[in-house]
Chains A and B, each alone.
Chain A
Amino acid sequence: MPQVTLTVNGTSHTVEVEGRTLLVELLRENLRLTGTHIGCDTSQCGACVVHVNGDSVKSCTMLALQADGAEVTTIEGLAKPDGTLHPMQEAFREYHALQCGFCTPGMVMSAIDLVQKHPQGLSEKEIREGLEGNLCRCTGYHNIVKAIAAAQEVMHGRRAELAPAAE
């Protein structure tokens, strides 16, 4: 079987995979990084979004072999080693932007990329448009949108700390 060498969350791995193995399968089955989820077969739901070389990618739509030499970040790699959460993770908790948690890893990874690519800041409407590739069945997106709006302020250095959710 062919081999693929890639760096995931800062650790280099060399893995034997079938040609048809998807990146998400490599992450979940070979590396047992089960935080990245599979919610559909048609690249619609975004539960499997990870970062590949800094861009958000649906890992069910990329062959593992295509990730040869790539730097991959998954939800497990977001928090600092001391456990400090990424501002986006913190915002999702503060704004109750998750319920069952299944779409959450992909949603957080997509949201981070969305914010990073828009340093000028995103309006509510732009955030909603930016989430086009991610499905959530629990929240109605209301609190996800609020969390992303709050997180971008911290990520772009406009606020030192996350604005607390209104009681």
Chain B
Amino acid sequence: MNVVTPFEGIGASVKRKEDLRFLSGRGQYTDDINRPRQTYAYILRSPHAHAAIRGIDLAAARAMPGVVAIFTGEDMKGIGGLPCGWQIHNKDGSPMAEPPHPVLAQGKVRHVGDSVAVVIAETKAQARDAAEAILVDYDVLPAAATMEAALATGAPQVHDGVAGNICYDWHIGDPAVNAAAFQSAHKVVEFELVNNRLIPNAMEPRAAVGDYDPTTGDYTLYTTSQNPHVIRLLMGAFVLQLPEHKLRVVAPDVGGGFGSKIFHYAEEAIVTWAAGKIARPVKWTADRTESFITDAHGRDHVTKARLALDANGKFLALHVQTLANMGAYLSTFATSVPTYLYATLLAGVYTTPTVYAEVKAVFTNTTPVDAYRGAGRPEATFLLERLVDVAAREMGMDRVEIRRRNFIPNDAFPYQTPVALQYDSGDYVATLEQALESSGWASFEQRRAEAKARGKLRGIGISTYLEACGIAPSAVVGALGARAGLYEVGTIRVHPTGSVTVLTGTHSHGQGHETTLAQLVTDRLGVPLAQVDIVHGDTAKIPFGMGTYGSRSLAVGGSAMVKAMDKIVAKARKIAAHLMEASVEDVEFDRGTFRVAGTDKTKSWGEICLTAYVPHNYPIEEIEPGLDETAFYDPKNFTYPGGCHICEVEIDPETGKVDVVNFTAVDDVGRVINPMIVEGQVQGGVAQGIGQALLETAVYDEAGQLLSASFMDYQMPRAEDLPPVSVATHTTLCTHNPLGVKGCGEVGAIGSPPAVINAVVDALQDYGVRHIEMPATPAKIWNIINAGHKLAAE
């Protein structure tokens, strides 16, 4: 590893390069972008969960001041629907049901918030006013607002031709082997749980600005996206039939994503298409309630599981049956979440020899559901880590001991699970020991007794988890139904004076890539951090890319950069060899200096860079001038971060309120590039996990109205709700990427929810509680504590 002064390379907690911009109000988010002659779009949305559209009367709206144009589904009839990026196959081998997902409703609306018409006007207020004058004649139909309702006999059909509202009925594992293993079990633990539906709520609402130049036929879309090239591909090829060279997609500063800004949304297609129609820029920005009802939601599983154990508490077999809510339409990656991002994780950190999982995906008249921070892996982890706790209790075993007994041992790597994945590295005992130590696990009973003396119920909970990220080997995901490759692209552009611009296909929306990725360059090429800039988020600047999700940016995007830097160094060594009249094999490169091995002959980085662009004395017959290389990197495997989270709670029995009093996370995220940023990512992830466990949930009524559709009704974690979170790392290197990195963006949200609920259940141990569904609200807990002596008023 190189060392520069001051140390800014791999392992340094350097302050973020992007912060000055954000702290000065100079960020450029999509809604901050204004184009000359810009118009404003307002989208009229369905107030009903399920209705046929009998007619739309636009006459009054068209006469409203400032209206430029109004479009409905009728106008967009020839436009393709929004595509789903992952095809899942049923148990019988047939493909999943894939009903159309129109950009503007075609005769029917299927969830509250479904887009019905777009009004374009000179001002935002005029567009909204005119939309209120549109008369839509709805024939309201019964709605399937929950999976239970959608699966009932005679349920309303969300889509014609999708029998029983089943998108797919999929499985993984060997059912015969699995069933046989249950036969020999000493004990079978049965368990049912819900993984509550969440609303991602990035602080920046989604927005999109479409622009069109009629003289060139060029379209530009500015959008709040985690992956502008993917949007260009999906929208260009499948929706609007625009070739890539005529469509530029820019995702500028993006105010948080957490998965919800991966997907191609209708509004992106609407503003781009409409800009072409009216030959003026069109801007749309969601208000918060619009975000609540149109951003893809997360989680929403109902699961039954059985765990077989032998007399020593060793896991023999796991059988899982899950219902996964898709919502009304298939969002871009919805179908992959409860299958390949969930069921493949059900071995967890344990040696369970057989796992069989069956997943039914269900259409309902609700907002589409897709990936949200962790995507499938939090659901798998919550199930496993609750189940293991329940099993320990029912076997009369210690919660930590049952985990230790079933851990995949360090000498078993690479470890092939029964559910397709092959883990490359990990040390589950080490992260466990470290977390037990720093959380004061051994002395907990004293704290419980002390709390009891104060009239409080104290509990402690543990979660030992693993996830799969660094998404993903293209050939593997392709064989599983992905309709995309999942490599990444990096260009290293070395300038004549030696400074560097990196073009990366990943996208930063809070992760700090402008700093972390620059550290890779500083570390490898010896160029000071101030002389390295990272460019992302613009298809006109960056050759290609698949974007940021699944904690892939370093593992895949960083690896592409390493590959490109390898090419740079190889070429630079040839130039240096020429200048120093040495053979290439003898030229060493370290810390920005080229040296003929064993001599004091050197050339500086700057001299070589200048020579590459001013090639007066240059091996021009052998190599081209310039120092600018691009690499595509396709990962060999997923990466497997893991670790241990321990949560300590205190419950006030008078109110049922849970206070998280301590939270300890010890994670193995592979090599750490910037410890400060890793710590921040884990803290943020844990905050979302605690939010899921204690506060957040999407609530629909029977008619399919989202009752929790504002920050007044959906409980986002606030500063007072959260504890200080202690974060530490214990590193085992990823064995198959050049940086040894695994990824840290999702671990917090994956490992934490079961630690919190295990702690709550532990605190309530005197009340005979086996499980409590998330969110563990004061009302639920108060009712448990007060069961049997109800208030007279009730």
A contact residues vs B (CB 8 Å cutoff): 18, 20, 28, 32-42, 44-45, 47, 74-76, 78-79, 85, 89, 92-94, 96, 98-105, 108, 124, 127-129, 131-132, 134-145, 165, 167
Report the bound CA distance from A44 to B717 in whole Å: 12
From B19, B287, B687, give the contact of A140 (CB < 8 A).
Answer: B687
Given the known interface contacts A41-B287, A93-B19, the answer about A165 and B676 at a Cβ–Cβ threshold of 8 Å is yes
A97 to B613 CA separation, bound complex (whole angstroms): 41
In the complex, chain B residues 499-525 whose Cβ is within 8 Å of any chain A Cβ:
509-512
Whole-angstrom CA separation of A161 from B712 in the bound complex: 39
At the interface, yes or no: B684 with Cβ under 8 Å from chain A? yes
Given contacts A44-B711, A142-B724, contact A102 B256 (CB under 8 A): yes
Contacting residues, chain A, for B26 (C-beta < 8 A): 35, 76
| B256 adjacent to A138 (CB under 8 Å) | yes
Binary flags per residue of B288-307, CB closer than 8 Å to A gives 1, else 0: 11000000000000000000
Interface contact A33-B25, CB-CB below 8 Å: yes
Query: Cβ of B255 < 8 Å from any Cβ of A?
Result: yes
Which of B25, B203, B255 is the one whose CB lies under 8 Å from A74?
A: B25
Residue of A nearest to B675 (CB): A167
Interface residue from A92, A93, A100, A129 paired with B204 (Cβ < 8 Å): A100
Decide yes or no whether B31 CB sits under 8 A from chain A.
yes
Shortest CB–CB separation between residue B225 and chain A, in angstroms? 13
Let me know if B16 and A93 touch, CB within 8 A. Answer: yes
B719:A100 contact, CB within 8 angstroms: no
Verify B718–A132 contact, CB threshold 8 A: yes
The residue that A100 contacts in the complex, of B203, B675, B718, B722, with Cβ under 8 A, is B203
Task: Assess the B255–A101 pair: CB atoms within 8 A.
Answer: yes
CA distance A127 to B203 in the complex (A): 21
Most B CB contacts (10 A, CB to CB) among A85, A105, A137, A143 go to A137
Contact with A along B3-38 (1 / 0, CB 8 A): 000000000010110111111111111011010000
The complex places the Cα of A41 from the Cα of B258 at a distance, in Å, of 21
B237 sits at the interface (CB 8 A): no
B254: A residues at CB distance < 8 A: 100
Which of B201, B288, B681, B722 lies in contact with A141, CB distance below 8 A? B722
Given A40-B711, A100-B256, CB of A142 within 8 Å of CB of B25? no
Q: How far is the CB of A34 from chain B (nearest CB, A)?
A: 4
Chain B nearest CB from A112 CB (Å) reads: 12
Chain B residues proximal to chain A, CB less than 8 Å: 13, 15-16, 18-29, 31-32, 34, 125, 201-205, 253-256, 258, 285, 287-289, 509-512, 675-677, 679-681, 683-688, 710-712, 716-720, 722, 724-725
Q: A98 to nearest B CB, angstroms?
A: 6
The 8 closest A-B pairs by CB, nearest first: A35-B25, A102-B255, A101-B22, A140-B687, A100-B510, A44-B711, A99-B510, A75-B25
Return chain A residues, CB-CB under 8 Å to B204. Answer: 37, 39, 100, 102
User: For B288, what are the chain A residues with a Cβ–Cβ distance below 8 Å?
Assistant: 39-42, 45
Contact A37 B29 (CB under 8 A): yes
* Minimal Cβ-Cβ distance residue in B for A45: B711
Q: Are A96 and B680 in contact (CB under 8 A)?
A: yes
User: How far is B720's CA from A142's CA once the two chains are assembled, in angstroms?
Assistant: 10
Is the Cβ of B716 less than 8 Å from the Cβ of A141? no
Q: Which residues of A contact B25 (CB under 8 A)?
A: 33-36, 74-76, 105
Cα(A115)–Cα(B258), bound, Å: 31
Known A37-B29, A128-B719; judge A96-B677 contact (CB<8 A): yes
**Bound-complex Cα distance A78 to B254 (A):** 23
Select the residue from B22, B25, B201, B688 with max chain A CB neighbours within 10 A. B25
Contact of A103 among B31, B203, B724 (CB under 8 A): B203
Q: Is the CB of B724 within 8 A of A92?
A: no
Contact B680 A139 (CB under 8 A): yes
Contact A99 B511 (CB under 8 A): yes
Give the complex CA separation of A32 and B253 in angstroms. 17
Contact B680 A99 (CB under 8 A): yes
Given contacts A34-B32, A134-B719, A142-B722, 8 further A-B contacts (CB under 8 A): A35-B25, A39-B204, A41-B710, A42-B710, A96-B677, A99-B511, A138-B203, A138-B256
Query: Are A39 and B23 in contact, with the CB atoms below 8 A?
Result: no
From A41, A78, A132, A142, give the contact of B725 (CB < 8 A).
A142
- Interchain CA distance A78-B26 in the complex, whole Å: 12
B125's contact among A20, A102, A105, by CB below 8 Å, is which?
A20
**B720 cross-chain contacts in A, Cβ below 8 A:** 128-129, 131-132
Q: Which residue of B lies closest to A165 (CB)?
A: B676
